[in-house]
Copies of this chain bind each other. A is one copy, B any other.
Amino acid sequence: MEGFPFVHRERVRFRDLDAMGHVNNAVFLTYLEQARFRFLEHLGLAQLEQEPPLILARVEIDFRSQATFGDELAVGVRSGRVGTKSFELEFELRVADRLVAEARSVQVAYDYSAGETRELDERWRELLAATQIQAV
């Protein structure tokens, strides 16, 4: 997927559809969540057994076309802006060549034991920055 070095694949379940016969809008956030976990795992930043020390602060998604039962979605993920305490992820969802949705999320580093936001570890900042799209 052009511009997305990491791609997560997710198969649409029958339960993902709604009464219109298409994937329900809310389910796309589940696909983004799956892709986010796999992306962080791929970078060596998270293990599936442990919740990463993050809070999801924002999601925005533009729906471009429909997906339906049996489709396999390719979800491209890359870093957007990497800040001191938060970072953005950018997503593109496709079924074969067709664009299905584009999305962006903001994650904030969080210390669950202290119950407060914290700074992103330097290792996270470096590894995330390495997946940003390169301006030419």
Contact = CB atoms under 8 A, between A and B. Distances in A.
A4 B37 CA distance: 33
A116 to B, nearest CB: 13
What 10 A-B pairs come out closest when comparing CB atoms?
Answer: A26-B29, A60-B60, A48-B70, A17-B19, A15-B30, A19-B21, A26-B30, A58-B62, A26-B26, A25-B56
Interface of A: 13-15, 17-21, 24-30, 33-34, 37, 48-49, 51, 55-63, 69-70
A113 to B, nearest CB: 14
Contacts of A28: 26
Contacts of A27: 26
A70 to B, nearest CB: 4
Given A18-B17, A19-B14, A19-B19, A29 B34 contact: no
Contacts of A62: 57-58
Nearest to A47: B70
A86 to B, nearest CB: 13
Nearest to A22: B19
Given A19-B51, A24-B33, A59-B59, 18 more contacts: A13-B33, A14-B33, A14-B34, A15-B18, A15-B30, A15-B33, A17-B18, A25-B29, A25-B33, A25-B56, A26-B26, A26-B28, A26-B30, A56-B63, A57-B62, A58-B60, A58-B62, A60-B61
